[in-house]
Amino acid sequence: MTNLIEKIEKLKRDRNAIILAHVYQRDEVQKIADFTGDSLGLSKRAVHTSADVIVFCGVKFMAETAAILNPDKTVLLTEQDAGCPLADMTTKKQLDEKRALYPDAAVVSYVNSSAEIKAESDACCTSANAVDVVKSLPQKQILFLPDKNLGSYVASKLPEKEIILWNGFCYVHEKNIDPAKIKSLKSLHPDAEVMAHPECNPDVIGLTDYVGSTSGMLMYAKESKAKEFIVGTENGLLYELQKENPDKKFYPCNTVCEDMKRTSLESVLRSLEEMKYKIAVPENIRIYAKKALDRMLKV
Ligand code: 13P
Ligand code: SF4
């Protein structure tokens, strides 16, 4: 392992590369990253780098976002097949059909979407800023895609808006975390506070003490006086939660994103050695997708 890490470090210097990792990555991958964060944090970090190469340990839509924001840099996704089933739940054809039904609606796409869908959107958002992005738009009617649970959460916070939901979901949150699981963990750990990602079902959200993005949960756990937490998101977040709060206890919901876990230290090394897998977005899509991302980053 040490040998592997040394090789990664050397190649990283030789290539003037930076390693970005999402907080759902394997512990050992998060450990060697230059920066770990949520989708929003990683997007911002991708903009402010002087590196020539961005090695993205995450899933395709995240590397695509980095490529949209950094056309002059080489963006590598560590595993070619690391996708996001939620992002695949919207196609341009479906969006065109839905938009025809709501011609006055602004389209807000969660970053968990393809570059093509971003290019068709008025603004992008992440789970950390979805409420603020929707609030900032002048339109009352918002076509929010693709995650129905995040859309419902936004609607609950902004009753003045009319949110039209898409029928997308993330199996890691929607299928693998349910009220019974939360209640059973709560009965085992009655003093624990419940935190959950807004991709969880509204019935789960109703049982929480805090709802937020992965970075929001990290902040909440640090600031809360509670000593124990039930963590309603992908298991990977436990690594950073425990690192930042060694005196607190965290109980996972045991839910894993298979695509996030594809990347290993071996993938990172291969990525740097072979300069794989290059992610590029056609310019006619990139410029429009960037507009939607810029609108988000301004909020
Ligand atoms: P964050 O925006 O909180 O990083 O979440 C991304 C994601 O893929 C959630 O499933
Ligand atoms: Fe996609 Fe869900 Fe995995 Fe996030 S956790 S990358 S939304 S499948």
The per-residue pLDDT for 39 is 86
Burial letters 84-120, b for 16+ CB under 10 A, else e:
bbbbebbeeeebeebeeeeeebbbbbbbbbbbbbbbb
Nearest atom, ligand 2, residue 59 CA? 6
Tell which atom from ligand 1 comes closest to the C-alpha of 126.
Answer: 2
Kindly compute the dihedral angle of the four CA atoms of residues 127, 131, 132, 138, in this order, to the nearest 10 degrees: 130
pLDDT on residue 124: 97
Side-by-side strand order, sheet with 35-37: 35-37, 17-22, 53-57, 74-77
d(CA 99, CA 144): 11
277 and 248 in one domain?
Answer: no
Tell me the average pLDDT across 253-260: 98
> What percentage of residues in the chain have a pLDDT greater than 90?
95
The binding-site residues of ligand 2, defined as CB within 6 angstroms of any ligand atom, are: 59, 84-86, 112, 170, 172, 234, 257, 259-260
What predicted TM-score, i.e. pTM, was given to this entire model? 0.96
CATH of the domain at 42: 3.40.50.10800
Best residue for ligand 1 mutational test, from 126, 147, 219, 255 (most atoms within 8 Å of Cβ) = 126
| Selection from 110, 114, 115, 146 nearest residue 128 by Cα | 110
In a shared domain, residues 165 and 97? yes
* Structural domain total, the chain: 3
Residues 94 and 240 in one domain: no
Q: Whole-angstrom Cα distance, residue 147 to residue 289?
A: 19
- Give the DSSP per-residue string, 148-197: HHHHHHHHHH-TTSEEEEP-B--HHHHTT--HHHHHHHHHH-TT-EEEE-
Burial (CB count within 10 angstroms: exposed 0-12, middle 13-18, buried 19+), residue 160: exposed
Of 29-43, 115-129, 252-266, where does mean pLDDT reach its minimum? Answer: 29-43
Q: What sign results for the dihedral spanned by CA atoms 40, 33, 117, 91?
A: negative
Query: Does one domain contain both 199 and 243?
Result: yes
Q: What residues contact residue 32 under an 8 Å CB cut-off, 6+ apart?
A: 5, 8, 9, 19, 265, 268
Give pLDDT tens digits for 101-149: 999 999 999 999 999 999 999 999 999 999 999 999 999 999 999 999 9
Segment 35-52 mean pLDDT:
89
Q: Is the pLDDT of residue 241 over 90?
A: yes
Tell me, what's the pLDDT at 44?
A: 84
* 6 and 72 housed in the same domain: yes
148, 293: one domain: yes
Q: What is the domain extent for residue 213?
A: 177-252
Chain length of the chain = 299
Say yes or no: 51 and 186 in one domain.
no
Spatial CB neighbours of 117, under 8 Å, sequence gap ≥ 6: 90, 91, 92, 95, 109, 145, 146
294 and 161, same domain (yes or no)? yes
Say if residue 198 is in the same domain as residue 245. yes
Question: Is the distance from the beta carbon of residue 126 to the nearest atom of ligand 1 less than 6 Å?
Answer: yes
Same domain, 272 and 243: no
Do both 19 and 69 map to the same domain? yes
69 and 136 in a single domain? The answer is no
- Regarding the beta carbon of 36 and ligand 1, being less than 6 Å apart is answered no
